[in-house]
Structure 1
Amino acid sequence: MSAHQPGSPPAPTVWHCFQCSDARAMIDWLVEALGFVETLSHAEEGQIVHAELLWPEGGGVMLGDQRRGADDPHSKPVGTGLAYVVTADADVVYARAKAAGAEIVMEIHDTDYGDHTFSARDPEGNVWSVGQYLGQPLP
């Protein structure tokens, strides 16, 4: 395991994971509309079983085509995900999402707790909130 390089985003230690009816289209949307970077995509029998996309400012998501079978504990309904993505400049990501034709479900605004945020729905129904709120430090 390599050490974190100063000035570079830390490697993800928590991943938001979800399933898609069309993982390839979802990957393309996340790259174009929000600015994720695809780092891995593994397919078997024409389906993406595991893909990883990194957020340039740190963190990432894992996704794949919906798994079939009631005995799979990872099988979840498509389009039911909700993720919060932290950025240093929500206005830039908002402009990118708008330019890509993303469905904005909450316009960019400031919150009482110090966030500058917006939310967009992806083509499968998941909601992606993007903002500048870093959360509270560990006590």
Structure 2
Amino acid sequence: MNTRKDMNIWPGLTCNDPLAERDWLTRLGFEPGILVEGDGPGEVIHSEMLWPDGGRVMVSSACKTDSTFTTPIGTGNVYVVVSDPDAVYTKATDLGATLVRDMAEEDYGSRGFSITDPEGNLWSFGTYAG
């Protein structure tokens, strides 16, 4: 039985509209975490979105003054372990997410699917927890 609760690696995504991304992720099932806004319009220095089953992702804006951790928009690829992939799949389709890989049972014991978010990042949701 796997009892790990890995929460020490946080992917970060750069977005054109990080506030809209946070809203989209909230409607998908993430919980809003810290939000540090900058001085410029729409500037998000740092923010966190928490997944109820454990883990989190950081979301920031492409327009922030300190571009040290800015990555190209739409190049993120995140895997999220879920306890109920069907519920997340329903939310994703209700949001109009672009389906990249339909729900499937994998040979390695996972059930999951993949979508892209409005910024072009790839999100995979599945039951495989390692």
Query: Normalising by the residue count of structure 1, what TM-score does the alignment of the two structures yield?
Result: 0.83
Partner residue, 1:111: 106
3-state SS of 2:87 partner: helix
Spell out the pairing of 1:86-97 with structure 2 (5 A cutoff): 86-97=81-92
Does the residue aligned with 1:15 lie in a helix, a strand or coil?
Answer: coil
Cross-structure match for 1:31: 26
2:12 is matched by which residue type in structure 1?
C
Q: Matched residues in 2 for 1:96 and 1:73: separation?
A: 33
- Matches of 2:59 and 2:67 in 1, distance apart? 15
Which runs of 5 or more residues in structure 1 are unaligned? Answer: 1-9
1:93-130 superposed Cα distances (whole Å, 9 cap, x missing partner): 10111112111111100111111010110001000000
* 8 Å CA contact 1:19, 1:67 repeated in 2: no
Residue matched to 2:62: 66
- Of 73, 76, 84, 2:71 maps to 76
Give me the whole-angstrom Cα distance separating, in 2, the residues matched to 1:22 and 1:68. 11
Q: What is the CA RMSD across the aligned residues, in angstroms?
A: 1.9
**What letter corresponds to residue 58 of structure 1 in structure 2?**
G
Tell me how far 1:21 sits from its aligned partner. Answer: 0.7
Gaps of 5+ in 2: none
CA distance in 1, matches of 2:44, 2:64: 13
In 2, Cα distance between equivalents of 1:50 and 1:74: 10
Shift of 1:11: 7.9
Q: 1:74 to 1:95 in 2, by over 3 A?
A: same
Query: Judging changes above 3 Å, is the alpha-carbon distance between structure 1 residues 83 and 11 closer, same or farther for their aligned structure 2 residues?
Result: closer
% identity of equivalent residues: 40
* Runs of 4+ displaced beyond 3 Å: none
Query: Which structure has the greater CA radius of gyration?
Result: 1
2:50 counterpart residue number: 54
What residue is the counterpart of 1:126 in the other structure?
121
- Which one of 11, 35, 40 corresponds to residue 34 of structure 2? 40
Work out the CA distance in 2 between the residues paired with 1:72 and 1:64.
Answer: 10
